[in-house]
Structure 1
Amino acid sequence: MDLISLEVLVAAIEEKSLSAAAERMHMVTSAASKRIAELERREATVLLRRHGRGVVPTPAGAMLYQRAKSILRQIAQARGALREYAASGVPHVRLAANASAIQQFLPSEIGAFSRREPAVRVDLTEAFSYDVPRLVADGDADVGIYHAAYPAPGVLSRPYRRDRVALVVPAGHPLEARGQLPLEDALEYDFLGYFPRHSLSEFLALAGNTLTRPIRVRAQVSNPGARCAMVREGLGLAIVPLGIARNYARLLGLSILTLTDEWATRQLWVCVRQPAQLPPEAALLWHFFLEHSGEADGASP
């Protein structure tokens, strides 16, 4: 018995029609009919009775239907279990995280986890914060890390880290001596865009009434390294996560100013769908993040 023929039998009995079963199986009706006929011939048993309105199972067909459902369910479970492994056969965990977490925290975190659990591979996918909980809820990621003011619905979230965004300016800029300031005090200068919450409109909603003037955006630059390089060339100021800004400030000779606005401090969350349903390797990563949450959080200037 081949799996496709069993799938056709199950579909025909559930749909009460060979044509409907063929449509469900994405094949022509004649091919579905041939599959059933060949199965009946090989087993020397009538499985379906045809009539003008469709098909009904014989007692033998009903028995095989129940066995086939069990077989197909076990095959699906086996395939699902295999998806927890990489092509090399090594167990892996699907981790989705936003760019800020990837660039500031996850290199050292994943390194420490890999030293603790050398047999487990972490497959890391970058996603926007608003997409990460959906990826986890839909089963496309085992563990997720995202920024948000509050935990996202549909997943179980725990605090992971707090970080800050800072203002990056060229060395010798008139604001450099301030050390710290609200963003409002820098609005007379041009900015290089890619703001917290990504789009300017969403950032302005986040900032609320802390800004009384529009922001002049000279260019939209998503890559923080490119953004900092353009700051060095005097093309504008930039808002950059502090942990990332420190790396480029040393490399490019930039100055970092602390933003005193409340929105400049951000909460990162680590989330899963259901801890009890995690594959063993994903559970190891989930508990690792919970153990290390809050360490070296990058929230201090």
Structure 2
Amino acid sequence: MRFDLIDLRLFLYILETGSITHGAARANMSLPSASARLRGMEETLGMPLLERGRRGVESTATGDTLAHHARLVLGQIERMQRELGEHQDGAKACIRLWTNTAAITEFLPSAIGVFLRDHPNVQIDLKERPSSETVKAVLSGAAEIGIISDAVEHGALHTLPFAVDKLVLVTSRDDPLATRRRVTLAEVGGRDFIGLSTGSALHTYLGERALLSGQPLTIRAHMRTFENVCCMVEQGAGIAIVPATAAKRYRGTLGLRTIELTDAWATRQLLLCMRDRHALRRPEKALVRHLAGQ
């Protein structure tokens, strides 16, 4: 039984497009040539790989097995090519790292800065995403490494502790809440909030938590940074929920009060996640060790 890489790619293209014609086009192959290759694979196996219907083609049970192994083989070939490319003069290894708002703003800048300084042939493609999206990206291979909250399911991913992120409420000094030491989100849900930009991972996370508490947040203004959020709060425009590290950073220069949020979800363990730590490339392993403090 012999299949070459062209056969495997063609078969996956056919499944992705649901059409032999479209699969052949993606493989830059004529339809007769693609059909001949497909027929040859089926004759070699002695079993059909595709079922043809009105809506296109679908894989048989045998085809599912072939597709699974084709993805593994082609994925390993791609990884091999990337790792070999790292040895070329001037070549840079690119690490795709997806992370939530707290990690990207509060914990990563200095850590990644040190890592990049010490690894001149590495570049990092950093994306801010909600933890649930990051889990999917790492599982699917869209990212090699993720940083997520332990509040989300991460399935079979391998995880390591990264940091503890505690969210707090900030108010102006003359706000009626300023004398409180502790509150829950339910107690302040009816107030006007200042939030981060729509689409930020923290904005999404807080919106979900507010819905679960039965009282969606009212956002008066969306700001791009925690500093801008805190400046708005200082002026009495509203209250806000920010990481404790950000509140501490701005508390000394702004007229802010920090109040503990007692909701269980307000204290999150941030986790490094990856599919298989042992299968990571050398630069990726180095980054994981660096971020995990190992």
Give the TM-score normalised by the residue count of structure 1: 0.65
Residue in 2 that maps onto 1:130: 132
Structure 1's unaligned 5+ residue stretches are 1-5, 34-47, 49-53, 57-68, 293-301
Residue in 2 that maps onto 1:271: 273
Residue in 2 that maps onto 1:63: none
Residue in 1 that maps onto 2:218: 217
**Is the CA contact 1:93–1:120 (under 8 Å) kept in the aligned structure 2?**
yes
Distance 2:246 2:210 in 1: 22
Using a 3 Å threshold, how does the CA distance of structure 1 residues 131 and 261 change in structure 2: closer, same or farther?
same
Q: What is the CA distance between 1:197 and its match in structure 2? A: 6.8
Residue in 2 that maps onto 1:229: 231
SS in 2 for 1:162: strand
CA deviation string 1:43-97 (max 9, x = no partner) = xxxxx9xxxxx789xxxxxxxxxxxx9xx97975554436769995122322211
Using a 3 Å threshold, how does the CA distance of structure 1 residues 216 and 127 change in structure 2: closer, same or farther?
closer
Selected match of 2:157 from 155, 158, 163: 155
Residue in 1 that maps onto 2:178: 176
Q: What is the CA distance between 1:277 and its match in structure 2? A: 0.7
Larger radius of gyration: 1
Residue in 2 that maps onto 1:203: 209
Structure 2's unaligned 5+ residue stretches are 15-19, 42-69
Distance 1:135 1:85 in 2: 27
**Counterparts of residues 185-200 of structure 1 (less than 5 Å):** 185-187=187-189, 189-193=191-195, 198=204
**Is the CA contact 1:151–1:269 (under 8 Å) kept in the aligned structure 2?**
no
Distance 1:157 1:285 in 2: 14
Q: What is the CA distance between 1:239 and its match in structure 2? A: 0.9
Selected match of 1:140 from 114, 117, 142: 142
Distance 1:203 1:27 in 2: 51
SS in 2 for 1:93: strand
Determine whether 1:285 maps to 2:264: no
CA deviation string 1:117-175 (max 9, x = no partner) = 44433332222211112111111222110113255113111222111111111122222
Using a 3 Å threshold, how does the CA distance of structure 1 residues 252 and 82 change in structure 2: closer, same or farther?
farther
The percentage of aligned residue pairs carrying the same residue is 30
Selected match of 1:103 from 102, 105, 124: 105
CA deviation string 1:6-57 (max 9, x = no partner) = 948x969xx9xx9798446245548x69xxxxxxxxxxxxxx9xxxxx789x
CA deviation string 1:156-208 (max 9, x = no partner) = 112221111111111222222223333444346322356957266521355x5
Using a 3 Å threshold, how does the CA distance of structure 1 residues 123 and 259 change in structure 2: closer, same or farther?
same
**Is the CA contact 1:133–1:144 (under 8 Å) kept in the aligned structure 2?**
yes
**Is the CA contact 1:158–1:270 (under 8 Å) kept in the aligned structure 2?**
yes
- Aligned CA RMSD, in angstroms, stands at 4.4
Distance 2:191 2:136 in 1: 37
Give the TM-score normalised by the residue count of structure 2: 0.66
**Is the CA contact 1:193–1:217 (under 8 Å) kept in the aligned structure 2?**
no
Using a 3 Å threshold, how does the CA distance of structure 1 residues 55 and 144 change in structure 2: closer, same or farther?
closer
Provide the aligned length of Structure 1 versus Structure 2.
251
Determine whether 1:243 maps to 2:209: no
